[in-house]
Structures are given as C-alpha cells and as structure tokens.
Structure 1
C-alpha cells in the first residue's frame, strides 16, 4: 500500500538508526511512517500537520529521554490523545509502570517480533478510530439535543398557552376550534422534528435497515403526488404527475416515499400561489431518475453547497410561513445513498428548482 492510499500516519522516535530503518520499513508496508532521531525532533514531528495517528517511542535516548518526551506529549492538548506505544529493551516492572502512568497505551520489548508489532499497531489504530467515531457520534448527539431543546421549547410554550386558554369557560366555540386547530398544527411540527431526529439518529448509529422489494418508482411517485395534492390545494399550488416511464427498482417503498414526500412538501412550501409542481420519472440506461420541479424563487448559489447538510437554514423562505426542521434533505440524501443512488438539485433564482434523484433499475442493481 502506498502512502497516498492510507489515512494513517505513524511516528517512530528512536535514536538508533537501525531501529528506525527496520520499524519504518515494516510500517510502510501498510501505513505512512515518519521518523525522528531524538525526543526533541519527535515533539516537532508530532506537532506537524497532520498529527500522527500513533507514536512508537524509545525510552533510552540522549538528551530528552522517552519518559520526558511522553510527558510533554501528554501535556499538549492537541497531542495528548495520540496513543503512544513504548518500544524499549527495558522490560522491568518499574519502567512499564512509569510508562503507563505517563499515558503510554502499550509496551513492546526489543528485540521485537515483526508480526507482534504489526498486530499491536493495528489494534491501537482500530481503538483510536473507534474513539474518534464515538466522539463524532457524541458531538452529533449533543447537537441534536441542543437543537431539539431549542426547536421544541417555543412550540411547547405555544401548546401550553393554548391549553390554558381553552380552559376559559366563556370562550366562543369558533375561537375554541381555532385554538384546537393551532394545537394540532404545532403538535404536527413537533412530531415532524422528533421523527427526523430519530431517523438521523438511526442512520448515524448504523441501525438503518432497508426492507427491499421490487417496485415501480413511477407508481410510487404517483401515489405520493395524489396524497399530497390537498396540501398543495391549500396554497393554490397544483401537483402534476408528468409523462413517465415504467421504472422497476429494488427499493424500500416506505423510505423512498419519505424522500418523495420531503421533496414534494418542500416544493409546495416554497411555491407561490397559482404555480405548478411537476413530477416525472425517466428510465434511461441503468438508472431511474425522478424529478420534482417547482416554480418557486429558486435557491441562491451560496446556499447550494450546504443544501443537503443537517440543520441548514437557507436564505429562501417558505411562501406560507411554514416551518422546517432543517433535516429533511439530509435524511433524503442518506436514504438515496443507502439505495446506491444519487440526489442533486438544479436551480435558478427567480425561475425555480428541480430536485432529482437516481436509483438503479432492477436490471442493473446487481451490477452497480
């Protein structure tokens, strides 16, 4: 494996040229290896971008020895999380105890056995990657909790206020009905947010399974257009199913319906009255391509790169004051990707947007 093909960088710190040569040649069979001939050089190399994923460190070196080098590494907030394996001829209990107390994760004694070295390197790189993945998931979780708390606080306050108002015995019946409808509408918004958060959580944690079956994408798109037509009527936006091809795909109909509903709902939200949202499905080559085209304001060029990200708020605003969780398109992209497909948008400000997603046709699904 070449250095360009591996993401892992390993730093070897040792004052013995032969040890550096043997270890670096051994590691370069799978990783990117860099060497330093002293503790001082090792600290400089560790701080160089990108920082190492793992450090192999000798103890007995002139000047700054391995223990002092390890102590300084662990004192640096940027370098402290890099796992350090001590490689030394000193295999006494006192040395091992001191190394572990300073933050080393393992000991390898000289003369070392090459397969053992590689096995331990792989193990600690895997543990390091798991730690990074857990940190990433924890950051996502904290972001979800923060946004959920923020986005749920206001609607919950509204529901509470309306509930208190509904207790007023002298309330007129039409006013009572108006408040009940407001409670239902706000509750739907909260449920949408919670469902989106649960979907993203399932995707992030890997608990996202597809129940695949052979289905016609055109038939499914037509069903969703029919179901959301009333939502369009409320805004004087017409949903139309354009001329389409039969497009048999191996899909999870429930999940693809979720993608279609999101694209159609967004098209309705951002469309002004007396406009049309057109849906069509084309089968060409190995792909079925579904297009949802609106006549809305279009998407600003600066918003396009962040369109399919999580919790994004764009400069364009819904024409009816509707709310959005900022998660729908991110979820749609992940669902389409899980089907080995692609999703993108073509948009022109003042003209409208065309959201498209491609799925493999059943005849091509096994070869993609």
Structure 2
C-alpha cells in the first residue's frame, strides 16, 4: 500500500493579500475590487525592495501574493522567486502573452497567471484570490501508479493551497476515501494494475454522487474513446497526458467551485426548511388561539369584559402573524437584491429617541436601562418605515440578549459626511467563529435570548439589506468586557 497526505498549514490563516505592483492606479483598482468582492485587506509594495522588506518581516500575514512580472528594480521577474521561495502562492500579472514566458512562469512554481488585458483578467485574478483562500479546506485525491506523476500533480496542487492525498493503486484509493470522507475532488489515472481508473471511477460513484465528488480522469495512452469511457463510468471530466499545468488547475478549480455551489445550495435548502418549520410552528399556535377565542365568542354567552379580552388576544396574535409574514416577504427582497425606498428628510436624533421610548417598557420589564447619547439634530434622506425597522431590530435584539439589570447604550454622532449609530449591549456577545454568518438569512446562532424570546434568524439579514439599500454599512464589533456593538454608517445628504 502506498498512501500519503500533504496538508498545508490551515491554523490562523490570515485574510490579507500582498500586491507587488508599480502602477498605483492599477494596484488601487485591484485592491478595491478584492476588498469589495471578498473582504480581504490588501497591502501594496511598489517595487522589489519594498516587497522583500515586507516578506522578510511579515510573510505570515499573507495567504497569497499578486505579482507584476516586470518591476523597475526587478525587470526579469525576480519578484516571482521572492514570493515562491517563501512558500507563498503567487498570482502573476503579465503584459507578455507568449507561450515561452508562460512555461517559464510555471517552472518557477507560480499558482497561476493572467494577462493585463481586458476586464475579465481582473475578474479572474479576484476570483483566483478567493479560490486559493478557500482551497485550504478542499481535499483532493491523486491516484496514479507512477510515483513521478503523483509527485508532479501534488506539487502543482500544493501551490494552490489544496489539501492533498495520494494513492498508488485503485485499492489504496478506495481505502483513502473511506478514511477521509471529506475528499471532494479526485484525479485518476486510467491504466493501473489491479483496479484500473475506469473501475475505480465506477466504484467511487457508488460511494459519492457527482455533486459530492468531482472526478477527473487522465491518461497518457492512446484511445479516442477513452474520454467517453471515463465520462460514462461516472467521471466529470477527462484530460489526456501530457497536459499543461493550467489545463489541470482550471479543471480542478472549476470543479471546486461546483462542489462549493452544491454544498452552499444544500445548506441554504436546509436553512430554509428549518426556518419554514419554525414559521409553521409559530403560525400554528396563534391561529389555534384565535380559533378558540372566535369559537367562544360565537357559541357561548359571555360578558363584554371577556369578549374584550378575547378580541385583544385575536388582535395581538394577528399582529404577530403579520410581523412574521412581513419578515418572510423581506427575505425574498434580500435574495432578489431588491429593496425599494421611499425617501424623505428625517431627523435621526428624533427618530432614535422615539424608538427608544417605544421599547422603554420592554426594557424595564427586564430591569434594563436604555442610555441615549445623541448628537443634536442630524438630518438626512431616509425611508421612514424601513429605517425604523432597522433601529427597532437593533434595540429589541440588545434587550433580548441582555441579562436582567443590564444597560443598553444607544449612541449617535456625526463623523464627517456620515452619521454613525451604535447600539451596544452587555450580553454574551457573538462567538468569533459565528460572526461570519451573523448577517446571513436563516442563520440562528448559539447565543440565546435571556428571556426565552423567539429567534427567526431573519432580523439582521433584513436590517443589513435595508442599510445597504441606503448606501450605508452595518457591522459588528465585540464589546470590551463582554457584549455586542452594532454600528450603522449612513451617508448624510
């Protein structure tokens, strides 16, 4: 048996990108696109000397480098070796498009390259940055009875951050996939002794579907029908040997995209099923209470006081149902990217004071004090109904997740041409590993309401959508000493 497993370090992996580029306008556009698309911070070195200084002291800060092939003080591409020698994946931008240059770059151990030509080249590099970041969680199985071929493929995938397993036979491959069920991509050579590539592909399909395991068949032997045989055995793709490095990487990376899309869609469906189950439960209770109250009013002789009590019950439960249904409708607006605004001039100071007064009784019931620190009269164009929904959600959440006898701070100040709102509580806060899904629809976190209040997982997703429709920002920071802080930035017009 010949099995091996190569892991790149994944602990404490940073979320920063190093851009080595001497044209400031280009590096500015690239860093802005990367940050706005994926949220990765970018540092820029404008020459070889600056890049060398940064990497000498801060190599561990970066998970990838984007390198201009020709720099004023490194005209022969010396910056590429500067990066690859430090085991940092290098994405090379080059204005040279000849095959000799491309082959030379692959021989230097780059992760990928793109030409400086057209909009899609930028989009490709931005996509590749994210792909390299995500690959640390993607496990690939390389199956080939040639040790040299396995090592060559392993080396190619290593610079893309993939987690790599290798097997020298079909039998070893089946054992490997049983031991490592998270393998999602397999590269399989056709002609091997014992269980060959076609038989192995068929056996793997009995274990995992094409949505769970991307299989790429490869072979160096002749056979016009071989690609068709691999596909019919269950492979997703086929590549004849010898192949260019980028031919295999393009297939593997796009395969990783497809697997990721399937996993995300599956999770979204599970989340929707969960929230629909919760919604059905929440609807059933109020409807049952309303049905009972209506039946009593209709069929029994009851005094006016009891009728009024039952009418109040019906009204209260009706309002709760309407609120739940409006939340579900707002989710469709989130997913379609549409959130229409009816703008008018509003005073944020008065608005915050009004909404705090509205929730004061709810806070007092838990012994919670609402503290307001509001700048006098900050006015801007807002949708009255929707911005109230935003403020209500943040204040009610702060009360919901705060312990008894705590304080909730509601602050408003002007910061240049921006209004900055902060709602801070003294609750449990949000676990660091859960902060990434804080504003996603249908996400219910481990943090629980202190008074047993209900959670739908919709409020913050809807809130973020409304804020961004106003060209604003909503973000979270942990509060020193415990608790949560939610910040809203709104442009002043």
The TM-score normalised by the length of structure 2 is 0.56
| Partner in structure 2 of residue 12 of structure 1 | 142
Q: Does structure 1 residue 341 correspond to structure 2 residue 471?
A: no
| Partner in structure 2 of residue 133 of structure 1 | 264
Determine if contact 1:85/1:105 at 8 Å carries over to the other structure. yes
What secondary structure is seen at the aligned counterpart in 1 of 2:140? strand
| Partner in structure 2 of residue 327 of structure 1 | 457
What is the CA–CA distance in structure 1 between the aligned matches of 2:411 and 2:310, rounded to whole Å?
Answer: 39
What secondary structure is seen at the aligned counterpart in 1 of 2:183? coil
What is the CA–CA distance in structure 1 between the aligned matches of 2:356 and 2:145, rounded to whole Å?
Answer: 71
Distance 1:234 1:16, change over 3 A: closer
From 51, 61, 64, give the equivalent of 2:182: 51
Distance 1:347 1:336, change over 3 A: farther
| Partner in structure 2 of residue 158 of structure 1 | 289
| Partner in structure 2 of residue 103 of structure 1 | 234
From 193, 198, 205, give the equivalent of 1:67: 198
| Partner in structure 1 of residue 450 of structure 2 | 316
What is the CA–CA distance in structure 2 between the aligned matches of 1:335 and 1:251, rounded to whole Å?
Answer: 14
Distance 1:345 1:148, change over 3 A: same
1:178-202 residue CA offsets vs partner (Å, 9 max, x unmatched): 2121111111222222333344455
Q: List aligned pairs for 1:342-361, cutoff 5 A.
A: 342-344=475-477, 346=479, 356-360=485-489
Larger deviation, residues 145-154 vs 255-264 = 255-264
What secondary structure is seen at the aligned counterpart in 2 of 1:310? coil
From 203, 220, 223, give the equivalent of 1:91: 223
What secondary structure is seen at the aligned counterpart in 2 of 1:194? helix
Determine if contact 1:280/1:291 at 8 Å carries over to the other structure. yes
RMSD (Å), alpha carbons:
4.5
What is the CA–CA distance in structure 1 between the aligned matches of 2:459 and 2:324, rounded to whole Å?
Answer: 13
From 36, 53, 64, give the equivalent of 2:167: 36
Gaps of 5+ in 1: 364-368
What secondary structure is seen at the aligned counterpart in 2 of 1:341? strand
1:73-100 residue CA offsets vs partner (Å, 9 max, x unmatched): 233359982110111235354x555533
Gaps of 5+ in 2: 1-63, 65-88, 90-110, 112-131
Determine if contact 1:289/1:356 at 8 Å carries over to the other structure. no
Q: List aligned pairs for 1:175-214, cutoff 5 A.
A: 175-200=306-331, 202-203=333-334, 205=335, 207=337, 209=339
The TM-score normalised by the length of structure 1 is 0.72
Distance 1:142 1:361, change over 3 A: closer
Determine if contact 2:345/2:381 at 8 Å carries over to the other structure. yes
Distance 1:347 1:90, change over 3 A: same
Larger deviation, residues 116-125 vs 281-290 = 281-290
The offset of 1:58, in angstroms, is 0.9
1:277-308 residue CA offsets vs partner (Å, 9 max, x unmatched): 663213458975434467xxx63x4x753795
What is the CA–CA distance in structure 2 between the aligned matches of 1:134 and 1:221, rounded to whole Å?
Answer: 42
Determine if contact 2:423/2:486 at 8 Å carries over to the other structure. no
Determine if contact 1:248/1:362 at 8 Å carries over to the other structure. no
Distance 1:116 1:261, change over 3 A: same
| Partner in structure 1 of residue 32 of structure 2 | none
| Partner in structure 2 of residue 223 of structure 1 | 351
Determine if contact 1:196/1:327 at 8 Å carries over to the other structure. no
What is the CA–CA distance in structure 1 between the aligned matches of 2:211 and 2:383, rounded to whole Å?
Answer: 45
What secondary structure is seen at the aligned counterpart in 1 of 2:263? helix
Q: List aligned pairs for 1:105-124, cutoff 5 A.
A: 105-112=236-243, 114-124=245-255
Determine if contact 1:73/1:80 at 8 Å carries over to the other structure. no
What is the CA–CA distance in structure 1 between the aligned matches of 2:195 and 2:403, rounded to whole Å?
Answer: 71
What is the CA–CA distance in structure 1 between the aligned matches of 2:406 and 2:161, rounded to whole Å?
Answer: 57
Distance 1:328 1:61, change over 3 A: closer
Determine if contact 2:188/2:218 at 8 Å carries over to the other structure. yes
The offset of 1:156, in angstroms, is 1.4
What is the CA–CA distance in structure 2 between the aligned matches of 1:326 and 1:83, rounded to whole Å?
Answer: 35
What is the CA–CA distance in structure 1 between the aligned matches of 2:211 and 2:259, rounded to whole Å?
Answer: 12
| Partner in structure 1 of residue 119 of structure 2 | none
Determine if contact 1:262/1:332 at 8 Å carries over to the other structure. no
The offset of 1:105, in angstroms, is 1.3
